[in-house]
Structure 1
C-alpha cells in the first residue's frame, strides 16, 4: 500500500512516500522537505531512495505552493517515483492540536475538519497550515482516504495537576482552557525508539524527550506515559522558538497591548510570528543562520543560543525532579538532531547526575 505522509509545520512541509508491507514494516520510496516557507528564499528537497538528493532553491510563499511542488517532484517524468498521483492509496497528516476532541487517529470528514479548524485558536501557526495541506490533497486526490493523527493525543495522560492552569475552574469547563501540549506523535515515537536502542523497557523507565526545531518542546515520560510537557494551551508556551516568544508574563502582554495600541489579534501575531529567535536576534528565525552569525561574533545571535540552551536545561532539570530521576534523554527535531554543540552544552550541565558525554558519539550523526 502506497501512503504519502505529510507533516505541515509552521515553516516547513516534511514528507515521506511509504510502501507499507504491514502495520510496522515499510519501505521509504522517497522523502524530503519544503522549508523556509514564507521566507525570501525557499528550499525544496527531494530524495528518492537509492538516488541522489535533489535540492532546489525556489520561492515557497505558502503551504499550498509547497504541497504542489512536492507532488510535482514525486511525479516528475525524469526523477519522479510515481507514474501518476493515482498510485497514492492513502494520505496521512500530522495535526498539532486536537483539543479534547481526539485521543487517536481518525479518517478525515467534514466533522473532523470543523473540529481541527475550531482548534486553530489553540494553535494559530499550525492548524491552519495542516488544513491547507488536507484541502490541497482533497483537491488533487479527492477519492483517496486521508487520516489525521494528533500531537495532543499522547499528552492526554497528563494528570490534572500538570495540565490545569490556576484560572477560575469555570473557564476550563466552558472554554476548555488547559494545557494540551504538542509534538506528542514525535515524543511518543522517539521515546520508543530510544528505549529500544538503550535496552530499556519503556513501561518501567523515566525518559525525557527533546523535540527541538522551529517549534520546540520537551516531554517527561514515565512508564510509557506523558506526565508533563513544556507546551501548554497552544504551541506558544514553553521555550523560546523560531518566531514564538515562549513563556511570558501575561501582564507583560497586556502592558504591551496598551503601549503599542494593538488589538489582541495583532498582539498574537507579534507573539507567534515576530518574537523568539527572530525577535531577539532582529535578523533571522533560522537556527542555522543564527549559528553562523553567532560563530562570527554577533552578540544577539549568541544571546539567542544562550537563552535557548538555558531554557532546555531548565526544562530537563524540572522533569528530572518531577520523576525523581531519569534513565534516558532523547534529542530529535531539526536542531536536536543536527546541532551537536547544543546537545553537548545541554548535557554537560547534568554531570551532577553522573552523566558523561561521549563526545565522539555526539558528533556521529546517524550512527
Structure 2
C-alpha cells in the first residue's frame, strides 16, 4: 500500500496536538489541538472549524474527544501512530516501535528533558490505551544528531560526568534539520540525503546544524535546548560563569537564573518589547532602538554559529533557512548573509524579498553557493520515519 495514513501526536505538559498525514504527501488531512489540559479552561479546536470546552480534561480525555472527529477523515485504517519525543539520549539513534522497554528508556531520559519527556509520555500512554492494536512509534528530536563525532559532542569536563551522568551535547530539532537537508538535495539535483549543508531552524526556538550526506556532523544546541543561538525568550550561549556572578552579586538562586535565561532573555530581553520577530521588524522600521539591537544580535550570532559549523564540512553546497522566522523573514536572511561572504554565500536581494511566504525557493546571487528557503515539515518526517520503521519489523510485531 502506498496510500498509508499516520496519526502524528505531540504531547505537551498541558496540551496535545494531532495531525493526520498521508504517506508521501504535504499538508495534514486533519489536525487538532487540545490545550490547558487538567484545568477548568481546557478546550480544543480543529482544522475543520470545530471547537469546544473540555473542563478538567486529561490527555486521555482529550484524545477520547478528538479521535472520533479524526476518524471521519479516514478512508482506511491508520497504519501507525507516530509520537514526537524530545530526548532519546545516547540509546535511541533512530525511531523505535513503542513497547514497555522503550517507554522505560524514555522515562530514564527524563532527567535530560524534565519538561518534555514526561509530557511526551502522557500522549504516548493515552494513545496506547485508546488504540492498543495500532503500531505506535517514537521519533526522537535528538536521534538525528547521534551521528556527531565525539570531538563535536563532548564538553571539556571530567569524563565521569559524561560516562556516568550523560553530560554531553545532544542537539535538538533533528526532524527539521533532517527533513530540510533531504529536500535541499532534491531541490539542487544532488539527490535526497546527499550534499553538505548548513541549516538554520529559526522559530521561537532556534538551532543550526552542519549536515553531510544525511548525517548531522555538529549542531548548536547542546545538553539542553538553551545552548547556542539567540532565540525568542532564551539567551543562547552566555558565559558559563554567569550563574555564579548573578548569585554572588544579586543573590539570585538557581530557579531565578533559569527563568532569566529561558523565559526573559533572547529577542524579548534584548528588545524589551517582544519575542515575535514580526513585531520587532515593525518596531525597527518605526525607529525602536531595542528592536533594532535584538535583530542585529540575533542575525550576527546566527551567522557566527553557521561560520563555526562550516568547519565540520568538507565543502558547503548551500545554506538552508527554515522555521517560522527562517521561512518568512527576508530581513533576517539578508542581515545574516551580510556576515557570511567569507563562506562564498551571497544573497540576491530581489529573489529574497519576492519569495512568496511558505514556499521553497533559491535566493542566492549569481556565483554564490546555494542559499535556500525550505519550509520544514516535521510531522511529515515523523510520519515517514514511522512507516519506514514498520517496514523493517516482523509482521507479528505490527499486526
TM-score (norm 1): 0.79
Structure 1 residues 360 and 30, CA gap change in structure 2 (3 angstroms): farther
Say whether the 8 Å CA contact 1:177–1:233 is kept in structure 2. yes
Say whether the 8 Å CA contact 1:13–1:63 is kept in structure 2. no
Mark the runs of 5 or more structure 2 residues left unpaired by the alignment. Answer: 361-399
* Structure of higher RCO (CA pairs closer than 8 Å, 6+ residues apart): 2
Distance in 2, Cα, partners of 1:218 & 1:266: 28
Give the Å deviation of 1:297. Answer: 3.0
Which of 78, 82, 88 is 1:98 aligned to?
Answer: 88
Which of 5, 8, 14 is 2:8 aligned to?
Answer: 5
1:336 paired residue number: 326
Say whether the 8 Å CA contact 2:59–2:123 is kept in structure 1. no
Distance in 2, Cα, partners of 1:290 & 1:265: 28
Q: Please identify, of 88-97 and 352-361, the stretch whose mean Cα deviation from structure 2 is larger.
A: 352-361
1:30 aligns with 2:20: no
1:147 aligns with 2:137: yes
RMSD (CA atoms): 3.8
1:166 aligns with 2:182: no
1:286 paired residue number: 276
SS of the counterpart of 1:97?
Answer: coil
Which of 4, 17, 20 is 1:17 aligned to?
Answer: 20
Say whether the 8 Å CA contact 1:63–1:132 is kept in structure 2. no
Say whether the 8 Å CA contact 2:93–2:143 is kept in structure 1. yes
1:51 paired residue number: none
Distance in 1, Cα, partners of 2:119 & 2:125: 10
1:214 aligns with 2:204: yes
Say whether the 8 Å CA contact 2:307–2:343 is kept in structure 1. no
Q: Deviations over 1:157-215 (max 9, x none)?
A: 11111111110112111111111111111111110111110112466621111111111
Q: Please identify, of 215-224 and 116-125, the stretch whose mean Cα deviation from structure 2 is larger.
A: 116-125
Structure 1 residues 218 and 33, CA gap change in structure 2 (3 angstroms): farther
Mark the runs of 5 or more structure 1 residues left unpaired by the alignment. Answer: 49-53
Structure 1 residues 361 and 65, CA gap change in structure 2 (3 angstroms): farther
SS of the counterpart of 1:6?
Answer: strand
Say whether the 8 Å CA contact 2:230–2:302 is kept in structure 1. no
Distance in 1, Cα, partners of 2:35 & 2:350: 30
Give the Å deviation of 1:364. Answer: 2.3
Distance in 2, Cα, partners of 1:227 & 1:60: 44
SS of the counterpart of 2:81?
Answer: strand
